[in-house]
Structure formats: structure tokens, C-alpha cells
Amino acid sequence: MHKDVEEILVSHDEILKRTRELGQQISEDYSKENKTPLLVALLKGSIPFLSELMQNIDLDGLEFDVMDVSSYDGAESIGDIRINKDLSVSLQGVSVLLVEDIVDTGRTLSVVKKMLLNKGASDVKVVALLDKPDRRVVDIDAEYVGFTIKNEFVVGYGLDYNQKYRNLPYVGVLKKEIYEK
């Protein structure tokens, strides 16, 4: 275990197993509706999850795109996001499955979801590796969730603190002394 990690919350094996289940569920649900969604991943945290998830989705013509958004800094930022990198495909009439690393307050999700619908997406669903429901301030939930976790700051499997720890193969609680220094 990395020296800055207090505790492993979700092991690599658990992530792989759960992602397989999510992929199967998503494949079944969309097959029933005769649809293939466009996977839209939010950079950078959801990349390892996107990579594993798409290999477990068995739907013809599956494509993905990436988008980079960040919150405006400061206390006045509520609900506002800046688009650093937009999608490169048209969303007109497209079913979108948004791939997120973690749903925390729900602000990012709610703004991005509205934005994708405004761009013409026919429907937008969300798959998130992690969910921290205790922190929610916007009433929004992901349709597919890997793991519901307690209210702790976690890193690994794409999740960062100051851009670090994304490479850890598991999800772990970051030691408080690291961010309270």
C-alpha cells in the first residue's frame, strides 16, 4: 500500500469484478431498447474506469469521446463549469452514457447532463465508479454505481489529489496529514 494511503476501500480485484457486472447490466439494458450509447468520459479521473468498462460492454458500434470540464475556482463557483476540452462529435439524437469517476456534491453531473441535453442528446444516463451520497447538494443520482463509499477523500484508480495518485490500482483513503499540511 502507498505510504500516503490510510486504508484501501476498494481493491483492484473488486473494481474489476464490479466493472464486469456493470458492463453486463449496461449491455442488457441498452440491448433491450435496441440502442448503443456513446460513452462520454470526463477527464482525467474516469479514464481507468472507462478503459475497463468499455471492454465489458457488448454492444455493436460502441464509441467513446472525452470531455474536460472544471469548476470555476472560488466560493462563487456553484453550478458553473468551464469547458477545457469539448466533445468532437455531434450529439444530435444520440443516447449518451456519461462515465464518471465519483459523484460527490452532484454539481458537475447536473451541469454536464444539462449541457449534453442542450447539445441534442436524446437521453443521458450516468455510470459512476464511486458514489458519496452523504455529500450531495444537488438532487441527482447515477443510474449505475460501482461502489457507495463513506464521506472520505479518496485517491487511486484515476482519482487524484493535486494530480497525484491516479496510478494506484485501488481506491484508498488519503491520509489527512497529506492535505492538511
Q: Does residue 104 carry a catalytic annotation? A: yes
Nearer to ligand IMP, 70 or 90 (CB): 70
Residue 36 in the binding site for ligand IMP (CB under 6 A): no
Place of cell 439494458: 29
Residue 136 grid coordinates: 450531495
Residue 105 in the binding site for ligand IMP (CB under 6 A): yes
In terms of Cβ atoms closer than 10 Å to its own Cβ (0-12, 13-18, 19+), residue 160 is: middle
Residue 104 in the binding site for ligand IMP (CB under 6 A): yes
Residue 112 in the binding site for ligand IMP (CB under 6 A): no
Sheet holding 95-103, edge to edge: 81-85, 63-71, 38-42, 95-103, 123-131, 144-148
Residue 153 in the binding site for ligand IMP (CB under 6 A): yes
Tell me how crowded residue 115 is: count the other CB atoms within 10 A of its CB: 18
Nearer to ligand IMP, 60 or 76 (CB): 76
Residue 103 in the binding site for ligand IMP (CB under 6 A): yes
CB 28 to ligand IMP: min, Å: 26
Q: Could you tell me how many residues make up the chain? A: 181
Residue 65 grid coordinates: 469521446
Residue 41 in the binding site for ligand IMP (CB under 6 A): no
CB 109 to ligand IMP: min, Å: 6
The interface region with ligand IMP, picked from 5-13, 15-23, 55-63, 97-105 by CB under 6 A, is: 97-105
Indicate which single residue of 5, 39, 108, 115 sits in contact with ligand IMP (rule: CB under 6 A): 108
Q: Total binding residues for ligand IMP by CB under 6 A?
A: 15
CB 152 to ligand IMP: min, Å: 7
Place of cell 477545457: 84
Please provide the DSSP assignment of 108-172 as one string: HHHHHHHHHHHTT-SEEEEEEEEE-GGG--S----SEEEEE--SS-EEBTTB-BTTBSTT-SSEE
Candidates 73, 80, 104, 141; catalytic one: 104
Residue 64 grid coordinates: 467513446
Q: Which residues bind ligand IMP (CB under 6 A)?
A: 45, 100-109, 153-155, 159
